[in-house]
Amino acid sequence: MSAREEILSGIRRSLKATGAEGPRRAAVGARLAMRPRGVVPARGRRDPAGRTALFVAMAQAALATCAVVTSPQDAPAEAARFLRDANLPARLRMGADPLFADMDWSATQIEISHGPSDGHDLNGLSRAFAGVAETGTLMLASGADNPTTLNFLPDNHIVVVSADDIEGDYESAFDRLRALYGDGLMPRALNMVTGPSRSADIAQTMLLGAHGPRKLHIIVIDAAG
Amino acid sequence: MSVHAHPTTPQFSANAHRAMGDGNLQEALARLRVGFSTRRAAAIADLPEFDALRDAARDIKIHTLAHLDLYIEAYEQRVKESGGHVHFARTAEEARRIVLDICAAHGAKTVAKGKSMISEEIALNDALIAAGVRPIETDLGEYIIQLRGEMPSHIIGPAVHLTKDQVEADFRRAHTHLPHDRDLTEPSAMLAEARAVLREKFIAADVGITGANFLIAETGTSVIVTNEGNGDLSQTLPKAHIVLASLEKITPTLEDAAQILRVLARSATGQEMSVYTTFATGPRRAGDPDGPQEYHVVLLDNGRSAMLGTEFEDMLRCIRCGACMNHCPVYHAVGGHAYGWVYPGPMGAVLTPSLIGVEKGGQLPNASTFCGKCEDVCPMRIPLPKMMRHWREREFERHMTARPQRAGLGVWAFFAKRPALYRLGTALAMRALAFTGRTTGRISKLPLAGGWTATRDFPAPQGRTFQSQWRDRTKAKAR
């Protein structure tokens, strides 16, 4: 008997089941199809302005920095300001996201490069397809638009998220994901990011910038802001 | 040979004794006692739904375990559809063999590893080294203990037993290519050094190995939860990604994972959410500029399917948050290494005998004050003290309990079966003890209890026996 068969039959022996029982199969099929939500914290249930405010407050509590701009066209200047104020070189690596392609970067002094990171980029720029207000969490999907390596290798990560894409809770963000990729389907990597990288492994002292970015700067585009 | 293959669990008493006298360890434990529990309490106070989420999380696992065979089949199907491979491993040996074969197929010289308790459980690093493959632990805590040739002392903080000075000494010993006179007094300097050293190793690694906090049946996805980002680099940069996970990590849907995520970080570190929660589904796709070309999952049983349907089934709900050890007076006193194998603290006391046998692990369920704090804080509401009692019963049934203890229990049982005699005996003993400690209220020496009184005094009884007080109070109430 193969390892697979032996493990499955061992589980069935322990559960006193055969695997062919109608009610058991129906229970599993129903859960996978219905995806019950369980307990969703009330704190995310707010109007759009309230969600954006909570998202910003929670992201800051997780030690990210945040700025709200009213139009995508204001994002390059805000990125430039962040780099300048942090004494960072005016260089930025990004993917092919159409939102960035439509922005006018020429007014800034930023030297732009495109594509995944090889580990030698100081600053990266990504777009989150969703934000989650309950914990100030960004959701980023892999692909040519936003290469996963940009989320982890650069020392400083700037992430743009639209206020319209900020949901109250994880469950609503998962629905947004299913609308983009289809039921039961996922991008190769879905990164939920809450604040910059950190570690407390040396003498239980929390320090930022373990392997991922030391700084996470979030630019929220909010026309109502 | 490493502790992985030769647990020192049977020597728990000696280990514990040594740990109590270890100054560095006691300094680290003093910090741990305060830090983890304070942060957890603060996070929970901020989420009114926390207890309701614990119930929901427990119920999800109970449902999943009752349908585990079917969810595994659904999960496997989804992984295949996304272009990944699922390998089933009955034993640690089979799991090691699968990993070594994948490494060999890629001609791997080095492997970058995210933190994985399953890797520790199957002693993977020893096997990789024996096969000429260099494993590089990339979680900072795991990296430090790898430099020291140690076992993790905590399931979420592997190097929690070390002081800053010890880590500095390890870095100076290991990173000999760096200037001798560099300043490492600040932990931030050490962190920067580890980041730079490990960055090059990530980029050079041929294969990446991570654990998994969840395997999602709905989508065929493995989920890792980290704060450093090392797991993400381990699974994104190398040519192949191997996920090591045990059967009970299966979780039906994204929504179910969200319920458990809400209790995980809060119970573990007191964070609202860990920094990186990453969902990985299959290998690199057409148009993907990064990600691994191959995606493998090693699904390990190693005794777990046999725990289903027994009094230890509840243990399979464990999500490895570490709250039980963070709140355990025994762990606080002796740290993780005394437990002698991979899993320390209350969860280790229950799990270790299941995995290495009650013959070797039987001392651990006895290392408990039964204060119940572990069950109080467990996000999955696992009845840890009850399961420790089950192990003690099994030990007793198998005649593994030490002779003096058996004899003592025999004497107690003789009296317990004869209530009148029991009452008389306890009343007399009580008076004798009260007389002995009449001046100070304390007794510093007791026959047959020298082990207890050697390090602390026994409080002298102040009144009558529990039973006689109970009788009087019941009567008073009836009136």
Q: In this predicted structure, what is the pLDDT of residue B457?
A: 81
Q: Return d(Cα B408, Cα B415) in angstroms, integer.
A: 11
Mutate to test the interface with B, among A28, A37, A149 (most CBs of B within 10 A): A28
Instruction: Say whether A174 and B49 touch across the interface (CB within 8 A).
Output: no
Q: Which residue, A166, A173, A183, A148, is CA-closest to A218?
A: A166
Q: In the prediction, which pLDDT does B2 show?
A: 63
pLDDT value at position B114? 95
According to CATH, the superfamily of the domain at B9-305 is: NagB/RpiA/CoA transferase-like (3.40.50.10420)
The three-state (H, E, C) secondary structure of A132-145, written as one string: ECCCCEEEEECCCC
Residue of chain B with shortest Cα separation from A23? B67
Average pLDDT over all residues of chain A: 97
The nearest alpha carbon in chain B to A24 belongs to B67
Q: What digits encode the pLDDT tens for the residues B333-379?
A: 999 999 999 999 999 999 999 999 888 988 899 888 899 999 999 99
Q: Do A7 and B160 touch (CB under 8 A)?
A: no
Residue that has been written with the tokens 């003690």 in this structure:
B392
Q: How many Å lie between the alpha carbon of B202 and the closest alpha carbon of chain A?
A: 9
Distance from CA of A91 to the nearest CA of B (A): 20
> Under an 8 A CB cutoff, do B66 and A8 touch?
no
Flag the least confident range among A125-134, B319-328, B388-397. B388-397
Interface test with B, best of A6, A11, A149 (most B CBs within 10 A): A11
Is pLDDT at A214 greater than 50 in this prediction? yes
Tokens 């025999």, residue? B410
Mutation target to probe the B interface, by most B beta carbons within 10 A, among A5, A21, A39 is A39
Cβ–Cβ of B70/A19 closer than 8 Å? yes
Identify the CA nearest to B141 among candidates A201, A200, A204. A201
How far away is chain A from the Cα of B19, in angstroms, using its nearest Cα? Answer: 18
> What average pLDDT does this structure show over A89-117?
96
| Mean pLDDT calculated for residue range B143-168 | 94
Grade residue B155 by pLDDT with cuts at 50, 70 and 90.
very high
Nearest to A118 by CA among A78, A166, A71, A152: A152
A192/B273 Cβ within 8 A: yes
Render the burial of B236-255: b for 16+ CB within 10 Å, e for the rest.
Answer: bbbbbbbbbbbbbbbbbbbb
**B interface test, pick of A122, A202, A214 with most B CB neighbours within 10 Å:** A202
pLDDT tens readout for residues B179-190: 999 999 999 999
Instruction: Specify the DSSP element, H or E, that contains B113.
Output: strand B110-113
A24, A36, A207: residue with CB nearest B67? A24
Q: Binning pLDDT at 50, 70 and 90, where does residue B461 land?
A: confident
Residue B192 carries which side chain, given as an amino acid letter? A
Mean pLDDT value across residues B429-457: 79
The helix (H) or strand (E) run that includes residue B74 is helix B68-81
Residue range B128-147, pLDDT digits in tens:
999 999 999 999 999 999 99
pLDDT digits (tens, 9 = 90+) for B38-79: 999 999 999 999 999 999 999 999 999 999 999 999 999 999
**Cβ atoms of B247 and B64 closer than 8 Å:** no
> Domains of chain B: which residue ranges?
9-305, 419-478
Q: How far is CA B330 from CA B74, B236, B367, in A?
A: 41, 39, 7
Query: By the 8 A CB rule, do A55 and A166 touch?
Result: yes
- Please list every residue in chain A whose beta carbon sits closer than 8 Å to the beta carbon of residue B253: 31-32, 35
Q: B interface mutation test: which of A37, A139, A188, A197 has the most B CBs within 10 A?
A: A188
Query: With respect to CATH, is domain A46-221 assigned 3.90.1150.10?
Result: no
- DSSP per residue, B197-239: HHHHHHHH-SEEEE--SEEETTTTEEEEEESSSHHHHHHHSSS
Q: Residue B221: its chain A contacts at CB < 8 A?
A: 186, 190
Give B83 or B400, the one with higher predicted confidence.
B83
- Residues in chain B with CB shorter than 8 Å from the CB of A209 are 191-192, 195
pLDDT of the residue at B451:
72
Q: In 10 A of CB A144, how many CB atoms?
A: 15
* Residue range A152-160: mean pLDDT, rounded: 97
The reply to whether residue A31 touches residue B63, judged by beta carbons under 8 angstroms, is yes
Q: How far is B336 from chain A (nearest CA, A)?
A: 15
Question: Contacts of residue A4 in chain B, CB cutoff 8 Å?
Answer: 88
Q: Place B407 in a pLDDT band, splitting at 50, 70 and 90.
A: confident
A174 closest CB neighbour out of B78, B254, B273: B254
pLDDT of residue B79: 98
Best to test chain A binding among B37, B226, B247, B279 (most A CBs inside 10 Å) = B279
Mean pLDDT for chain B? 93
Percentage of chain B lying above the pLDDT 90 cut = 76
Region A105-119 average pLDDT: 95
Smallest Cα distance from A15 to chain B, Å: 6
CB nearest A202 (choices: B94, B187, B254): B187
From chain B, the residues in CB contact with A119 under 8 A are 199, 202-203
Is the ipTM beyond the 0.90 threshold? yes
Mean pLDDT, range A88-112, rounded to an integer: 96
pLDDT of residue B5: 72
Contact A6 B90 (CB under 8 A): yes
Cβ–Cβ gap A152/B232 under 8 Å: yes
Question: B274 near B224, Cβ under 8 Å?
Answer: no
Closest CA to B115 of B91, B72, B89, B145: B145
Q: Which residues of B touch A25 (CB under 8 A)?
A: 70
Of the candidates A71, A75, A109, A67, the residue with the CA atom closest to the CA atom of residue A90: A109
Judge whether residue B470 has pLDDT over 60. yes
Q: Which residue in chain A is spatially nearest to B258 when comparing CA positions?
A: A170
Contact A27/B277, CB-based, under 8 Å?
A: no
pLDDT at position B243 over 70: yes
- Distance to chain B for A35, nearest Cα, Å: 6
Chain A hits for B78, CB-CB cut-off 8 Å, are 184
Query: Taking CB atoms and an 8 Å cutoff, what residues of chain A touch B260?
Result: none
Chain A: give the shortest CA distance to residue B255, in Å: 6
Residue of A nearest to B68 (CA): A11
Q: Which residue of A has its CA nearest to B31?
A: A204
- Measured CA to CA, the distance from residue A65 to residue A50 in angstroms comes to 18
Instruction: For chains A and B, count residue pairs whose Cβ atoms are closer than 8 Å.
Output: 271
Instruction: Give pLDDT, residue B253.
Output: 98
Chain centroid to CA A143? 13
- pLDDT of B324 reads 97
**Domain chopping of chain A, boundaries:** 1-36, 46-221
Which residues from chain B sit within 8 angstroms of residue A188, using beta carbons? 280-285, 288, 291
Per-residue confidence band for B1, with pLDDT thresholds at 50, 70 and 90: very low
Is there a contact between B209 and B234 (Cβ–Cβ < 8 Å)? yes
